[in-house]
């Protein structure tokens, strides 16, 4: 999840109806997307990464995925993220880990990726696609920077808006990750329209359930700590909404999907 | 007309063979081969002594949990020096011998055998006994010196017994440990002295580095007290805790859990501990079937799995099974820990705030985690962890900062509450695989560091007591159901076998040293 820079445009859009941005960033944390590094590895295996291939990680955040791919799969990684501080920090860590020759981070927008056409073999995008306001442009950009036959791997929140009740509607506005999430079929259609043929979809709803659980724990921890940034927040209501999210996952209204596609 | 008998069918075994290891015969303590099997999602050890036959015992009550814990296995750290040589192999060379896989996180010094109670359950087989020992200042110093030479700057020493608070030199022993650079002293006590002697409590609280009180606390039912301790100690426990709170001493409640007696009180013990101002942690220990104990069935004993599941069942509003993580410094099936953030009735298990496995999985997690956070978590998930100490505080803050939580949250870590679950091995369940990585050692006045479960099960306790008291001590045998016909009661109330003579260094009857041709 890349809400580390709360001023980023995508978060602004997603959290239009939410509490102030730094509160949202706090509650979600910058740690990991649902499924953590385990799901990242699984996605990497589905993408059949080969040593020395070039990988783009869209919304690369602190760089955990980039470092994993470089060190475990031997690929070169370009990370793109909207936050300049995030990019600077990730670059510093790449240096510290001696990965600077394989892993680079760039300031950039998913809808205007700062790489030339056909530059990469594989695109990664974890728990970020749903936050892009213009998903068609983002998919087109992924297709543009991929070489012909290149692969895309996406994991993201999948949500069925037609089944959202009022309570969950307000929840969707409140939790950044669910803000503009779509059903899996819509992700498949968006990718296909961009020239990316989907070859695999998998449900990983447990990973989302665990993430919601973590948000619940963070909220309750902040309540104990009486964090100033969250002053005035109605914790009882917030926790009720998180509980509603947990129910939505349990009832199959919200889920977490893995999608693999190939450039035609 | 011919009749054909049906073809003979091969039959599958009803268990999965998992490990081959070494253990001891629970009767004669001879080292023997042992196998570990899984059946019906539970883990069992089976072994055979040429002399005393076959034995089987439950090792772990949840096989899935047993497997899952294996990746939380930190590479061991060598101590600065070892005290013995490898001669006969584990577990006969304690210790520590150069083959031992881990340094000593926690050193226990038993300062006496005398006690102001005669509990029906006591792994140390202590009580009102005239023929035991009481360490001199010099003996205590020798033990401390051995520990310091082995550890450098030891984190924690625990004074135990017997009942250490009735040792006339206990305050001097505490000062001596601090003088020799030990950072934290734990005082393992039944609390009786603390209940009745406020002056003593104030003297404990007067140390620069106050000792943490590690106090027996088994539950709230009268029957729990009479069956485990032989007396109703409820008022004394409450008075001791209140006196500690008044003096500013921190307390760990230590609950021995006996099957069918006080399992149902675990949730209440945690709730009570969280509310009492002196209590900063609770340790649950399935009753150890070494030393003196009630008759038991080795196939139905309690293990860490039953304790974890029991807590999750009894306090579902706070706990889940997944809130508890194995301690990686010892063998991961030995000990599990969780920490809680607490404010009144708001309770958050800290493992829900970060992915512990991203930092403490040393086997399948191949990406280098943030080392500062890993180190902080290693200290918290260790045998040295003592809530309320400065060290523990720093580690909590660092771990919490790794979760990207704001400054304000760091300040609440001083209210963090620890829950430890520890199943000790007994002569039925002893597995050298676990023993070789034990990080809790009994430090003896002859300068040895003997892994706790070896000390209690293999015969070292009897050997050391005999050396220090000059009085012969029988080899103690578990009070197990199947052994009843051959058991004799010792003068301390524990059991022995009529065939067991003196001499506590057992033989080795594994297949080592023999060849087919």
ipTM, 2 dp: 0.72
For A184, residues 6+ apart whose C-beta sits below 8 A from its C-beta are: A158, A201, A255, A257, A259
| Average pLDDT score over residue span A118-138 | 92
CA distance A173 to B347: 28
pLDDT at B345: 80
pLDDT at A11: 39
Encode A3-39: b = buried (16+ Cβ within 10 Å), e = exposed: bbbbebebbeebbeebbebebbbbbbbbbbbbbbbbb
pLDDT at A252: 86
Q: Does residue A64 sit within a domain?
A: yes
Q: Does residue A94 sit within a domain?
A: yes
Q: B479, B294 in Cβ contact below 8 A?
A: yes
Q: B178, B208 in Cβ contact below 8 A?
A: yes
CA distance A53 to A76: 6
Encode A175-210: b = buried (16+ Cβ within 10 Å), e = exposed: bbbbbbbbbbeebbebbeebbbebeebeebbebbbb
Residue of A nearest to B349 (CA): A217
Partners of residue B53 on adjacent β-strands = B49
Computed over every residue of chain B, the mean pLDDT equals: 91
CB contact A42 to B (< 8 Å) = no
Of B346, B365, B404, the CB nearest to A223: B346
Of B354, B404, B412, the CB nearest to A225: B412
Cα torsion B504, B509, B514, B517: sign: positive
Q: Does residue A3 sit within a domain?
A: no
Q: Which residues of B touch A221 (CB under 8 A)?
A: 341, 348, 353, 405, 409, 412
CA–CA distances in Å: residue A263 to residues A128, B54, B405: 20, 65, 40
Domains and CATH numbers, chain B: 62-340+418-517 (3.20.20.70)
Chain A: closest CA distance from residue B342 (Å): 7
Q: Read off the tokens for A123.
A: 């695109």
| B44-65 per-position pLDDT tens digit | 999 999 889 999 999 999 999 9
pLDDT at A16: 30
Asked if A225 and B368 come within 8 Å (Cβ–Cβ), the reply is no
Encode A217-255: b = buried (16+ Cβ within 10 Å), e = exposed: bbbbbbbbbebebbeebeeeebeebbebbbebbeeebbb
Helices H, strands E: what count in chain B? 16, 18
Chain B: closest CA distance from residue A194 (Å): 34
Residue A176 confidence class, pLDDT cut points 50, 70, 90? low
Any idea which of A126-130, B108-112, B426-430 has the lowest mean pLDDT?
A: A126-130
CA distance B146 to B459: 21
CA distance B476 to A1: 58
Contact pairs from chain A to chain B, CB under 8 Å: 69
A 68-97 residues inside an 8 A Cβ radius of B: 68, 71-72, 97
**Residue A238 sits in a domain of what CATH number?**
3.40.50.150
| A2-38 per-position pLDDT tens digit | 333 333 343 333 333 333 345 555 665 544 678 888 8
Residue of B nearest to A93 (CA): B370
Q: Helix, strand or coil for residue B189?
A: strand
Q: Does residue A83 sit within a domain?
A: yes
**Structural domain boundaries enclosing A190:** 9-108+120-259
CA distance B306 to B301: 9
Chain B: closest CA distance from residue A24 (Å): 12
Is residue B403 predicted with pLDDT exceeding 90?
Answer: no
CB contact A218 to B (< 8 Å) = yes
Which among B431, B441, B476 has a CA at the least distance from the CA of B29? B476
pLDDT at B470: 95
Q: Which of A22, A25, A92, A224 to mutate to test the interface with B (most CBs of B within 10 A)?
A: A224
CA–CA distances in Å: residue B444 to residues B94, B144, B449, B495: 11, 9, 7, 24
Which among A98, A208, A109 has a CA at the least distance from the CA of A155? A208
Q: Which residues of B touch A40 (CB under 8 A)?
A: none
Which among B411, B95, B3, B348 has a CA at the least distance from the CA of A235? B348
| B467-504 per-position pLDDT tens digit | 999 999 999 999 999 899 989 999 999 999 876 554 45
Number of domains in chain A: 1
Q: Does residue A113 sit within a domain?
A: no
Q: Does residue A96 sit within a domain?
A: yes
Q: Does residue A1 sit within a domain?
A: no
Chain B: closest CA distance from residue A233 (Å): 16
Please give the model's pTM, rounded to 2 decimal places.
Answer: 0.84
Of A72, A217, A225, the CB nearest to B366: A72
Q: Does residue A196 sit within a domain?
A: yes
Question: For residues B397 and B234, which has the higher predicted lDDT (pLDDT)?
Answer: B234
pLDDT at B438: 95
CA distance B426 to B408: 45
Is residue B36 predicted with pLDDT exceeding 70?
Answer: yes
pLDDT at A26: 61
């Amino acid at each position: 999840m890349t809400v580390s820079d709360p001023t980023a445009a995508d978060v602004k859009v997603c959290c239009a109806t939410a509490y102030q941005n730094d509160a949202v960033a706090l509650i979600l944390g910058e740690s990991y997307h649902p499924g953590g590094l385990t799901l990242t590895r699984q996605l990497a295996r589905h993408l059949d990464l080969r040593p020395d291939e070039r990988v783009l990680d869209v919304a690369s955040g602190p760089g955990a995925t980039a470092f994993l791919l470089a060190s475990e799969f031997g690929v070169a990684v370009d990370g793109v993220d909207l936050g300049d501080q995030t990019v600077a920090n990730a670059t510093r860590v790449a240096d510290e880990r001696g990965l600077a020759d394989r892993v680079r981070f760039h300031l950039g927008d998913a809808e205007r990726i700062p790489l030339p056409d056909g530059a990469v073999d594989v695109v990664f995008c974890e728990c970020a696609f749903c936050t892009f306001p213009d998903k068609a442009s983002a998919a087109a950009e992924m297709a543009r920077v991929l070489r012909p036959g290149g692969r895309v791997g996406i994991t993201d929140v999948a949500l069925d808006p037609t089944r959202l009740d009022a309570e969950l509607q307000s929840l969707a506005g409140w939790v950044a990750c669910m803000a503009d999430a779509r059903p899996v079929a819509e992700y498949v259609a968006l990718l296909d329209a961009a020239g990316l043929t989907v070859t695999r979809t998998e449900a990983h709803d447990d990973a989302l359930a665990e993430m919601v659980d973590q948000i619940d724990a963070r909220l309750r921890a902040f309540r104990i700590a009486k964090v100033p940034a969250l002053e005035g927040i109605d914790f009882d209501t917030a926790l009720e909404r998180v509980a509603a999210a947990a129910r939505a996952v349990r009832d199959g209204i919200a889920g977490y999907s893995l999608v693999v596609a190939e450039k035609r | 007309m011919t009749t054909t008998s049906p073809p003979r069918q091969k039959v599958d075994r009803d268990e999965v063979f998992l490990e081959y290891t070494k253990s001891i015969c629970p009767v004669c303590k001879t080292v023997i081969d042992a196998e570990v099997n899984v059946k019906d999602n539970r883990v069992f050890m089976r072994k055979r002594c040429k002399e005393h036959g076959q034995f089987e015992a439950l090792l772990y009550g949840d096989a899935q949990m047993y497997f899952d814990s294996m990746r939380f296995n930190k590479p061991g750290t060598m101590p600065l020096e070892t005290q013995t040589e490898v001669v006969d192999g584990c577990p006969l060379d304690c210790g520590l011998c150069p083959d031992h896989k881990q340094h000593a996180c926690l050193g226990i010094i038993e300062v006496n055998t005398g006690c102001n109670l005669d509990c029906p359950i006591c792994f140390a087989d202590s009580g009102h006994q005239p023929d035991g020992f009481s360490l001199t200042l010099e003996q205590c110093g020798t033990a401390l010196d051995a520990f310091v030479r082995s550890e450098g700057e030891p984190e924690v020493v625990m004074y135990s017994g017997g009942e250490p608070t009735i040792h006339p030199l206990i305050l001097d022993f505490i000062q001596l440990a601090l003088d020799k650079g030990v950072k934290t002293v734990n005082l393992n006590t039944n609390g009786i002295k603390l209940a009745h002697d406020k002056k003593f409590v104030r003297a404990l609280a007067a140390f620069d580095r106050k000792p943490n009180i590690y106090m027996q606390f088994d539950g709230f039912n009268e029957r729990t007290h009479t069956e485990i301790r032989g007396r109703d100690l409820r008022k004394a426990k409450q008075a001791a805790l209140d006196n500690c709170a008044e003096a500013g001493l921190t307390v760990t409640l230590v609950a021995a859990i006996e099957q069918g007696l006080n399992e149902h009180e675990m949730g209440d013990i945690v709730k009570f501990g969280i509310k009492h101002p002196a209590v900063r942690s609770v340790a649950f220990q399935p009753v150890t079937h070494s030393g003196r104990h009630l008759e038991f069935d080795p196939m139905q004993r309690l293990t860490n799995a039953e304790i974890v599941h029991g807590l999750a069942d009894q306090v579902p509003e706070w706990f889940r099974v997944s809130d508890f993580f194995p301690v990686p410094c010892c063998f991961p099936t030995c000990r599990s820990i969780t920490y809680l953030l607490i404010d009144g009735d708001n309770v958050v298990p800290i493992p829900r705030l970060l992915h512990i496995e991203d930092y403490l999985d040393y086997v399948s997690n191949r990406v280098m985690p943030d080392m500062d956070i890993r180190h902080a978590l290693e200290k918290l998930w260790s045998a040295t962890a003592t809530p309320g100490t400065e060290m523990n505080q720093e580690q909590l803050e660092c771990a919490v900062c790794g979760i990207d939580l704001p400054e304000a949250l760091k300040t609440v870590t001083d209210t963090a509450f620890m829950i430890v679950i520890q199943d000790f091995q007994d002569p039925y369940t002893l597995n050298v695989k676990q023993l070789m990585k034990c990080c809790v050692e009994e430090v003896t006045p002859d300068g040895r560091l003997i892994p706790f479960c070896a000390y209690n099960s293999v015969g070292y306790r009897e050997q050391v007591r005999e050396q220090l008291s000059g009085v012969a001590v029988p080899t103690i045998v578990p009070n197990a159901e199947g052994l009843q016909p051959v058991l004799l009661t010792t003068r301390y109330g524990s059991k022995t076998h009529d065939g067991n003579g003196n001499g506590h260094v057992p033989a080795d009857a594994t297949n080592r040293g023999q060849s087919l041709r």
